Structure 1
């Protein structure tokens, strides 16, 4: 199978429109509920973030900054020192996020930042960042399969051993039910494994999920036949999205996850009416947000 693959700079640094692509979050959305995919990728309806989502974004930002420091500075105290500046940076870029803290209540903000610090403490209990030199953090990757399906996403961390083995690491800070959350997370990790395999010609040796809430980790070793099968799954999802995009027929799929959905008021399963279908978006319905990457 021929593949055109590149590791690229973040989208904001590249001029011009990009071709439509599939990200792990949007692929997972469509698998979960095609109508949810439409609301997020086609209608692009803004969703109010939760404090837990923002906390995950903050922790990801701090860990990225931590690994940019010299090894001897990658200690718990330094990570905690990075929390406030990182939140100031994030909230300056997205001032609407501060609306989750009424009247900018200092005590509420302090407690929330403190809860992010607890996740960092849990992280340090899982591994010592002073012993690691990741090849990349928050790496934007993009590849096009031989079938024409374009995949893109952000990888939390890529470690490469001196012998060349690749480990893909993803931090999880959300509070989704474990059996559902792990299935979605492993889908995401296999997505990244396919992209990196096609970019580098090497099947990642390990996919590692680090659950910072409880200090647990989950490691998995994929193989090439499995990634080929997963490629076909992604191609089938993309073809289903394109069919729905041509007709506007994005059907709801009621499940246990509906309880966490922001769109019940416009979902037919709950007596709502979706907005008029705006047509298939161009050029790019596949982008992930920082909140997507923080779960």
Structure 2
């Protein structure tokens, strides 16, 4: 007998809750904000709006389903099941935060504060939950968004929805050897601020800013979120007698891999800005970056 679906409500601590945790009381938090030219009323109202959205979604979960909640900080310790329907209540970035921990479960993005978010990934209002949730297990109306993966030679693996960064943990100069697909030699030794490999979903953020700095005439276009290809960019490559700058941007089709071999004491690879959940790479290790075989299944 199969298990009933479980609605997993993903949320994050609000700014108001963080202020109370730091300052102890509403009054002390209000004094702290006023000393910086801000009013606590706006922060508290946003908190209540978010909590109302979360309560509305929770009440819309079908009575026969199980239900669980997980805060963003606990995602790396939460065990998602194959029967889960993941309901993200918050901002677009929260969808990216949870995507790396999933294995094909359908995701419903609920915008907790309409008008404050772009709504690229949190596409629905809290009042839509009652209509969307019953259809989610059948994955009707699901859009599959391409993800990027980094796999180290010790089999450690990292997934991301927007982009993966490989570079120094202190964001200083990273030294490595880069071999794009189709190169037969060992690759080009580089010194840079790191390498970013991004998806079409990430093409409106960090990747776009790097893309704008590329050399003209390269004939590459940014992918769409569902396109099975990636774009990679080297940040601030530095030319020297021992390091080159001839390979600073390119694309990766499905099945292709960008190889990066570490030539310094330590580099890290992390996805979607979450530096606390990273691959540690030491001298001589190679990491392969490319299109992941897992996609984010987002209800459109």
Fold shared by both chains (TM-score > 0.5): no
TM-score (ref. length: structure 1): 0.34
Q: Identify the structure with the greater helix proportion.
A: 1
Larger Rg: 2
TM-score (ref. length: structure 2): 0.34
User: Relative CO higher for 1 or 2, CA cutoff 8 Å, sep ≥ 6?
Assistant: 1
Q: Identify the structure with the greater strand proportion.
A: 2
